Amino acid sequence: MTNRRLLLLSSSSVEGAGYLDYYESEIKDFLGAEVKRILFVPFASVVRSFDEYAMMVSHRFQAVGYEVDSVHTASNMNEAVRSAEAILVGGGNTFHLLRALYETGLIENVRERVLDGTPYIGWSAGSNVACPTIKTTNDMPIVEPSSLDALNLVPFQINPHYIDAHPAGHQGETREQRINEFIAVNKGVYVVGLREGSTLRVEGSKIHLRGEREARIFISGEEPREYSPEDKLEFLL
C-alpha cells in the first residue's frame, strides 16, 4: 500500500462554515495542481437524488478549480474509475453506499486504483468505506449490502462525527460505549474516533491527523487515548 493517497474527512461541514469550506485549503493542497477532473461517487445519498448531489458537489469544486464527473452518469462506470485522475466519495448512508459499490461492481476497481496511487477523498460514509469494514459507521442499516467488508484502503476503522457527549436523560449507549463493544469482539483492530473538523491524511506509509481537534483512538485491552495533530500515528498502519 505504499502508493496510496487518502484524505479522510469526518464530515462535509463544520459549524459556522459552509459546505466543505472548512476543508477547502486541505483539499487543494492534497490534490495539487496536477489533478484537473475528479470522479464523484454519489451512492451514499438517499433522499437527495444522485443528480442533485452530484450537481451540489460539482458546483463546490468548480469554485476552487476542479471539474467533477459523477460516476452514476458514465456509460461505463468501471472504465470511468479506471481513467479517473482522483476519486471523491461523498457522505450519506454508509449501507446504501456500500451496497451500490457491490451492485455496480466498482468496489474492486476503486480499491485497485487507490492502492495504485489515485488520490481518494472521502467524508463521513466516504471515510467509512475506506476502512476494512463499515462496522463502525453511525448509520442505520436501511439496506443490506452483500457484505460489510469495505474498500480496505487502510487497516484501521473510523468512527466519523465522533462526539463525547451523553445528553441528559438519554438512556442509550454513548459513542464510546458502542466502540468499546466493537473492540471487544474485534480484538487488535484500531478505531479512530474522528471529531468534526478533523481529517486523516494518508500518504503511503505516513499518516497525519489534520485540523484543530484531537482524535480518540481505541483498541482492545487499553484505555482509549487522545492524539493531537502533533502526535505520530504510524502505528495505525
Q: Are 162 and 185 in contact (CB under 8 A)?
A: no
* 8-12, 17-21, 134-138: least confident range: 17-21
pLDDT tens for 118-173 read 999 999 999 999 999 999 999 999 999 999 999 999 999 999 999 986 666 665 67
Query: Quick one: DSSP state of residue 136?
Result: T
- Residue 209: phi and psi, rounded to 5, are -85, 125
pLDDT at 64 over 70: yes
Cβ neighbours of residue 90 under 8 Å, at least 6 residues apart? 12, 40, 41, 42, 44, 45, 53, 57, 122, 123, 124, 125, 126
Confidence category of residue 14, pLDDT binned at 50, 70, 90: confident
Burial class from Cβ neighbours inside 10 Å (0-12, 13-18, 19+) for residue 174 reads middle
Q: Are 57 and 22 in contact (CB under 8 A)?
A: no
pLDDT reported for residue 70: 97
Q: Does the reported pTM lie above 0.85?
A: yes
The DSSP element (H or E) to which 106 belongs, if any, is helix 106-115
Domains and CATH numbers, the chain: 5-236 (3.40.50.880)
Pairwise CA distance, residues 85 & 36, whole Å: 7
Mean pLDDT (the chain, rounded): 94
| Cβ atoms within 10 Å of 127's Cβ, excluding its own | 30
pLDDT reported for residue 120: 98
Pairwise CA distance, residues 131 & 119, whole Å: 15
pLDDT tens for 182-236 read 999 999 999 999 999 999 999 999 999 999 899 999 999 999 999 999 999 999 9
pLDDT at 1 over 60: no
- Please state, in angstroms and as integers, the Cα–Cα distance from residue 73 to each residue in 51, 70, 76, 108, following that order: 8, 6, 9, 19
Cβ neighbours of residue 64 under 8 Å, at least 6 residues apart? 24, 27, 28
Give exposure, 48-60, as e/b (b: 16+ Cβ within 10 Å).
Answer: eebeebbebbbeb
Hey, which residues are catalytic here? 124, 139, 161
